[in-house]
A = this chain, B = another copy of it.
């Protein structure tokens, strides 16, 4: 059978029946499931329940459980990137934003929802030695956030804020390490006062007296 040019165009290129679900909403729910359960324990059954999608639809839209996870990770990263950007888009000193950033992290750690974990660091811990592709994506995303931090620290130094004159990237690394550590530490001591004190120490460790 021969298709007309119009029908070829319309059916192949232009008007395709679009999926009925809201991709962003699906990813948000999948993301939460992965944050609550971890990668291995977030079964397809749980994911279908959380997203409202049937297995076939998930496989059609995301290819595999891993594909869904990688997109959920991207969704998470996007949100964190935006939150970070917003936090530092201000007239306040960088150090003030840095302090707020720590406060936010402490607050996250003290939540009783899935928000208490960082999808990136938790998944990286879980996936180590199992799936190098996933590990690379997670590590890359974390490095991007670290680099954004380094930029802010460099800016603070240039603007003469009370920050150590060390290499900005080196300070960012140490700060990042502290944040990672706080997230694990919060599992052993889910105590706001303790985490806040550690947060203050962390900020102090990159500033001048």
Binding site for B on A (CB under 8 A): 36-38, 40-41, 114, 117, 121-122, 124-126, 128-130, 135, 138-139, 142-143, 146, 170, 173-174, 176-185, 187-189, 194, 197-198, 201-202, 205
Contacts and interface: CB of A to CB of B under 8 A. Distances in A.
Contacts of A117: 128-129
5 interchain residue pairs of minimum CB distance: A181-B181, A177-B181, A125-B125, A180-B184, A180-B181
Contacts of A138: 188
Nearest to A36: B129
A75 to B, nearest CB: 20
Given A125-B184, A139-B189, A180-B184, 14 more contacts: A37-B130, A38-B40, A38-B130, A40-B40, A117-B128, A122-B125, A122-B126, A124-B188, A139-B187, A143-B189, A173-B194, A173-B198, A177-B181, A183-B184
B176 A185 contact: yes
A32 to B, nearest CB: 12
Contacts of A125: 121-122, 125-126, 184, 187
A120 to B, nearest CB: 9
Copies in the complex: 2
Given A37-B130, A38-B126, A130-B38, A177 B185 contact: yes
A198 B129 CA distance: 23
Contacts of A121: 125, 184
A126 to B, nearest CB: 5
